[in-house]
């Protein structure tokens, strides 16, 4: 191999090391030129100066082109100084360019979010999609009472884009610092770059079970899954088998939600009880009332009935015994030393024991036994998507077999699956095809004897189109019901949370935003992993659930009463009262969760009590 090839190969390998190598190469060339020109200058100076002086002058000429005007000597000396100046101009220009480009690349790499995170006790979000702004908004509220809270987001999306979209949607980060890093969320190096070993909790925001499993495999290779680690991962799964596989792999490090069962049950219950989704929003939102655990030695050996009215500003709803929750346990259940109460209040430090209340309105209690909620229903469903089949299956145990369900579905809908589901539920039904947002089609429907109208999202994958059709359907329905002088509750399903503000103009009775409720629940579990068991118990068909029952079953109407009396009345039926709904109030569905028990209320016809009961 020729020497020139070896030299070129060496230079290529050296320069490939980056900006520092290029700067070193230019420095070597510069000082070589300075020494060479300095020695030649000394030779042509005729010995009038020393070698050091000519080398110094050569260096100054190379670094500062302005010095050339002051050069005196022979023609050869001046020529050499001119060469030094020209070399300096070229090399200095190249050096400035190289340094500028290197600095620019360094800034770009820093903006890409590839540097190590040095934080502890932070929340780590993995992934980027429409759910992240919702999750961030919830955690920001939860962090308001935390000192120096931090949220770290790791995704494959460009860091600048993530920050810009967060600022556009969330706007105010309050007291929380947001750190964004770019990289594949399942790689161990990227996870360790985000200091996952020191994270308080990890939230996987992916919408796909396969992606969740892949990400969990990556997390399992880090110190976050070490036996002594206390953090936990929260994620949403769509398939029960995939969830079971994830649990076997992660053990007690994973707290997951089965989205299909959870949201279908909430949707089914909301369809049967307009206003119920406002209750879930209140309980799952960090703003307002939420679930907490309360422990006090003074409660030991007391019964559940005795503690229900001990908190004027907190609603007792269950018991946490041996790490297992029980919502609305039997009223004669005795509280053990290590048991914790499950309460609903604004903050855990606001629950104050006070046993000094007076039984002022005991004569207002309606003493009647527990009344089952299962009843005859006639509901109109407008629209269709695959989730509707599961919602109907969840709904059937709560309605009588004589009930009737009416459907208006898009013209391209295959009715076989719907008919099969309905026959299995043993209820009466009628299916009509047509354009679900057409005024002419809606006008031909029979609205007599309907007790509820449910508008279902037609195209969940195209949220904007689906929501636009839903809102148009509502406008037509409102006009039709007004013309027919009918007052029928309308419940709708929307796909994009951004369309929620438009609903205030539609004046509907209730609405469901599936991804919002599920992500709020995800955040609650991320903050307190024990709430996963509470939500599972609350949404389990076999346990106690939330019901809206007529206030006239509990207290006398049109007379002042305090909420202590409502709680006492519900306890006589084996139920737990946690709030009420006033028909005359439209804001937030007229729902009041955990009202101050000392305040007076006047219930009217149509008002409801929010209770926890097995039926």
Number of other residues whose CB lies within 10 A of the CB of residue 8: 11
Number of other residues whose CB lies within 10 A of the CB of residue 228: 5
Q: What is the pLDDT of residue 288?
A: 83
Name beta bridge partners: 303: 334
Q: What is the C-alpha separation between 348 and 528, in angstroms, rounded?
A: 12
Q: What is the C-alpha separation between 536 and 325, in angstroms, rounded?
A: 9
Examine the pLDDT at 1 and tell me if it is beyond 60. no
Q: What is the C-alpha separation between 238 and 230, in angstroms, rounded?
A: 26
Least confident window among 92-96, 148-152, 554-558, 604-608: 92-96
Alpha helices by DSSP H, 251-363: 259-272, 276-284, 304-307
Structural domains in the chain plus CATH codes: 3-111 (1.10.287), 123-263 (3.40.50.720), 378-512 (3.40.50.720)
Note the pLDDT tens digit of each residue in 494-533: 877 766 666 655 666 677 766 788 888 999 999 999 999 8
Q: What is the C-alpha separation between 538 and 528, in angstroms, rounded?
A: 16
Burial (CB < 10 A; 0-12, 13-18, 19+), residue 468, is: middle
Three-state DSSP state, 7: helix
Mean pLDDT (whole number) for 460-482? 84
The proportion of the chain whose per-residue pLDDT surpasses 90, expressed as a percent, equals 37
b or e along 49-69 (b: 16 or more beta carbons within 10 Å of the residue's beta carbon)? beeeebbebbbbbbeeeebee
Number of other residues whose CB lies within 10 A of the CB of residue 154: 27
Note the pLDDT tens digit of each residue in 126-143: 999 888 988 999 999 988
Mention every residue, 6+ apart, whose C-beta is less than 8 A from residue 285: 138, 141, 520
Copy the structure tokens of residue 103.
Answer: 């600095």
Note the pLDDT tens digit of each residue in 158-183: 888 888 888 888 888 889 999 999 89
Note the pLDDT tens digit of each residue in 352-374: 888 777 778 888 898 888 777 77
Beta strands at 490-494 and 510-513: parallel, antiparallel or unpaired: parallel
Copy the structure tokens of residue 304.
Answer: 């559940």
Copy the structure tokens of residue 513.
Answer: 């935003």
The proportion of the chain whose per-residue pLDDT surpasses 70, expressed as a percent, equals 79
Examine the pLDDT at 95 and tell me if it is beyond 80. no
Q: What is the pLDDT of residue 360?
A: 80
The CA-atom distances, in angstroms, between 299 and each of 151, 338, 406, 449 are: 37, 10, 51, 50
Higher-pLDDT residue of 154, 415? 154
The pLDDT confidence band at residue 113, using thresholds 50, 70 and 90, is low
| Cβ proximity of 492 and 512 under 8 Å | yes
Copy the structure tokens of residue 168.
Answer: 């556009």
Q: What is the pLDDT of residue 80?
A: 66
Q: What is the pLDDT of residue 402?
A: 83
Q: What is the C-alpha separation between 304 and 581, in angstroms, rounded?
A: 24
Note the pLDDT tens digit of each residue in 250-265: 988 999 988 877 888 8
Copy the structure tokens of residue 346.
Answer: 């604004």
Q: What is the C-alpha separation between 253 and 231, in angstroms, rounded?
A: 7
Examine the pLDDT at 110 and tell me if it is beyond 60. no
Q: What is the pLDDT of residue 18?
A: 62
Mention every residue, 6+ apart, whose C-beta is less than 8 A from residue 215: 126, 127, 185, 186, 204, 206, 235
Residue identified by tokens 């000597």 is 73
Q: Which long-range contacts (CB under 8 A, 24 or more apart) does 76-82 make?
A: 76/44, 77/41, 77/44, 77/45, 80/37, 80/40, 80/41, 80/44, 81/37, 81/41, 81/57
Mean pLDDT score of the chain, rounded to an integer? 83
DSSP code, position 116: P
| Cβ proximity of 540 and 155 under 8 Å | no
The pLDDT confidence band at residue 389, using thresholds 50, 70 and 90, is confident
DSSP code, position 436: T
| Cβ proximity of 456 and 493 under 8 Å | yes
Beta strands at 591-593 and 576-581: parallel, antiparallel or unpaired: antiparallel
b or e along 519-552 (b: 16 or more beta carbons within 10 Å of the residue's beta carbon)? bbbbbbbbbbbbbbebbebbbeeebbbbbbbebb
| Cβ proximity of 514 and 267 under 8 Å | yes
Copy the structure tokens of residue 171.
Answer: 């706007």
Q: What is the pLDDT of residue 219?
A: 94
b or e along 320-355 (b: 16 or more beta carbons within 10 Å of the residue's beta carbon)? beeeebbbbbebebebeeebbbbbbbeeeeebeeee
Examine the pLDDT at 15 and tell me if it is beyond 90. no
Q: What is the C-alpha separation between 460 and 449, in angstroms, rounded?
A: 30
Q: What is the pLDDT of residue 564?
A: 93
| Cβ proximity of 521 and 535 under 8 Å | yes
Q: Which of 598, 568, 594 is nearest to 579 (CA)?
A: 594
Examine the pLDDT at 306 and tell me if it is beyond 80. yes
Name beta bridge partners: 432: 408
Mean pLDDT (whole number) for 54-58? 66
Q: What is the pLDDT of residue 554?
A: 94
Q: What is the pLDDT of residue 539?
A: 83
């Amino acid at each position: 191999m020729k020497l020139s090839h070896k030299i070129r190969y060496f230079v290529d390998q050296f320069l490939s090391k980056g900006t520092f190598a290029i700067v070193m190469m230019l420095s070597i060339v510069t000082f070589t030129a300075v020494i060479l020109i300095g020695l030649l200058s000394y030779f042509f100076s005729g010995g009038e100066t020393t070698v050091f002086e000519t080398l110094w002058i050569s260096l100054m000429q190379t670094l500062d082109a302005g010095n050339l005007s002051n050069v005196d000597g022979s023609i050869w000396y001046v020529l050499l100084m001119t060469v030094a100046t020209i070399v300096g101009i070229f090399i200095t220009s190249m050096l400035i360019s190289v340094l500028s480009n290197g600095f620019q690349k360094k800034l770009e790499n820093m903006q890409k979010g590839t540097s190590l995170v040095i934080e502890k006790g932070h929340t780590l979000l993995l992934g980027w999609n429409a759910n992240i702004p919702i999750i961030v908004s919830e955690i920001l509220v939860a962090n308001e009472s935390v000192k120096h809270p931090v949220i770290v987001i790791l995704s494959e999306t460009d860091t600048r884009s993530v920050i810009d979209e967060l600022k556009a949607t969330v706007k105010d980060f309050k007291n929380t610092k947001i750190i964004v890093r770019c990289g594949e969320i399942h790689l161990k190096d990227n996870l360790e770059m985000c200091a996952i070993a020191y994270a308080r909790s990890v939230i996987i925001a992916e919408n796909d079970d396969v992606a969740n499993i892949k990400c969990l495999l990556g997390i399992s290779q880090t110190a976050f899954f070490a036996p002594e680690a206390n953090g936990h991962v929260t994620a949403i799964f769509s398939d029960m088998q995939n969830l079971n596989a994830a649990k076997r792999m992660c053990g007690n490090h994973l707290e997951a939600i089965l989205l299909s069962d959870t949201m279908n049950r909430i949707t089914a219950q909301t369809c049967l009880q307009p206003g119920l989704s406002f209750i879930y929003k209140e309980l799952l939102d960090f703003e307002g009332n939420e679930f907490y655990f309360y422990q006090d030695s003074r409660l030991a050996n007391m019964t559940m009935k005795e503690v229900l009215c001990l908190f004027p500003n907190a609603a007792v709803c269950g018991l946490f015994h041996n790490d297992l929750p029980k919502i609305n346990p039997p009223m004669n259940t005795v509280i053990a030393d290590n048991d914790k109460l499950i309460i609903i209040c604004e903050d855990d430090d606001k629950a104050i024991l006070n046993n000094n209340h007076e039984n002022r309105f005991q004569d207002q209690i309606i003493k009647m036994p527990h009344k089952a909620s299962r009843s005859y229903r006639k509901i109109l469903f407008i629209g269709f998507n695959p989730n509707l089949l599961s919602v109907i299956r969840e709904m059937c145990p709560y309605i009588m077999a004589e009930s009737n369900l009416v459907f208006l579905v898009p013209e391209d809908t295959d009715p076989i699956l719907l008919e099969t589901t309905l026959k299995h539920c043993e209820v009466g039904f009628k299916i009509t095809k047509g354009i679900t947002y057409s005024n002419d089609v809606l006008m031909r429907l029979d609205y007599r004897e309907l007790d509820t109208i449910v508008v279902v999202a037609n195209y969940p994958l195209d949220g904007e189109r689906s929501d636009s059709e839903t809102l148009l359907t509502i406008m037509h329905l409102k006009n039709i019901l007004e013309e027919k002088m009918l007052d029928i509750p309308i419940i709708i399903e929307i796909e994009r949370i951004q369309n929620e503000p438009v609903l205030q103009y539609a004046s509907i009775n209730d609405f469901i935003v599936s991804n919002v409720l599920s992500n709020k629940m995800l955040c609650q579990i991320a903050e307190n992993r024990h709430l996963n068991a509470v939500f599972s118990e609350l949404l389990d068909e076999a346990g106690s659930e939330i019901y809206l029952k007529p206030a006239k079953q509990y207290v006398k109407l049109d007379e002042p009463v305090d909420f202590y009396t409502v709680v006492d009345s519900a306890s006589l039926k084996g139920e737990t009262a946690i709030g009420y709904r006033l028909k005359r109030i439209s804001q937030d569905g007229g729902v009041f969760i955990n009202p101050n028990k000392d305040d007076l209320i006047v219930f009217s016809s149509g008002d409801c009590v929010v209770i926890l009961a097995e039926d």
